[in-house]
Amino acid sequence: MVAQRRDAEAELNLPPGFRFHPTDEELVAHYLCARAAGRGPPVPIIAEVDLYRFDPWDLPERALFGRREWYFFTPRDRKYPNGSRPNRAAGTGYWKATGADKPVHHAGRTLGIKKALVFYHGKPPRGVKTEWIMHEYRLADAGAKKPGNGSLRLDDWVLCRLYNKKNEWEKMQQQKGKAMESEASLSHSHSHSDTRTPESEIDDDTFPVLGLLPDFDDMGPAPALAPAPAGAVLPKEEVQDFVNLGGDDWLAGINLDYLQMPGDADFFNNMLGSPMGPPKPEQDGGFLLF
């Protein structure tokens, strides 16, 4: 990952509304001529990159500034040791000239030449045309330099302005920024999310609804209650437990408070322990008889 580059244009502290947007003449006369002569340009705002080593979409991150167009100083090599044609291979493709060369005039004379090129992905002649465009500026007298000692260097410096015809790179950067913001927001929300169990995951079996109660007939006989000591008073909770665990219908009409009376506990325990089970009550004049 390429480190975030500095914004050389912002460092110039230009007044509001001013931008680095030079004309062709200004680029050649004040920047390219100075660099070719070994002098520093008016402001250090143009990066020096071997442009032909990279694909065009990798170059914006190596520029010193720019969002829709980027400027570079770059050397040019010969295609053949004894020729004057430049080597246009670059990255995974090549640059192909389009249109006629245009002279750049300054002080009444032709100072430079402007050439337009389009990047093709792949190998010639079957390369795929892209939307990446480059304007290459070279000095007019650079072609008079003859090759010597078998060197492949054609020009020490040319100046290039790079841009994408449909601004796809800028759109891609905006989408990347939105994706990073979305990911950061999602990560932040997860780190501060509620850790409670969703209601949809709560086991409702703890509170069975009516009609889904367990069948006590399949649970076997109810456990017998231990006999209470003579004269003891049975707690109402124990009697109620017996009823809840499947006691026979003969307890349905008994008042639990009646069984809490002293002396009745022995009677009740004797009936529970009887092998014949509790007797069936008979009614006589509204009284229960055992």
> Which segments of the chain does DSSP mark as H helices, in order?
8-11, 24-26, 33-36, 168-191, 236-244, 256-259, 264-273
Other CB atoms within a 10 A radius of the CB of residue 6 amount to: 10
**Residue 72 belongs to what H/E stretch?**
strand 69-77
Percent of the chain scoring above 70 in pLDDT: 57
When pLDDT is averaged across residues 247-256 and rounded to a whole number, the result is 50
- 177: pLDDT confidence band, cut at 50, 70 and 90? low
pLDDT tens digit string along 22-44?
Answer: 999 999 999 999 999 999 889 99
Percent of the chain scoring above 90 in pLDDT: 41
Look at residue 181 in the predicted model and tell me its pLDDT.
Answer: 73
- 86: pLDDT confidence band, cut at 50, 70 and 90? very high
- Residue 105 main-chain phi, psi, to 5 deg: -100, 145
**Rounded mean pLDDT of the chain?**
75
pLDDT tens digit string along 47-74?
Answer: 999 999 999 999 999 999 998 999 999 9
- Higher local confidence (pLDDT), 206 or 181: 181
- 202: pLDDT confidence band, cut at 50, 70 and 90? very low
Other CB atoms within a 10 A radius of the CB of residue 260 amount to: 14
134: nearest Cα among 44, 213, 70:
70
- CA–CA separation, 130 and 135 (whole Å): 15
Query: 41: cis peptide before it, omega within 30°?
Result: no
- 14: pLDDT confidence band, cut at 50, 70 and 90? confident
Look at residue 141 in the predicted model and tell me its pLDDT.
Answer: 84
Res 98 pLDDT > 80: yes
Widest CA span of the chain, in angstroms?
A: 139
- 105: pLDDT confidence band, cut at 50, 70 and 90? very high
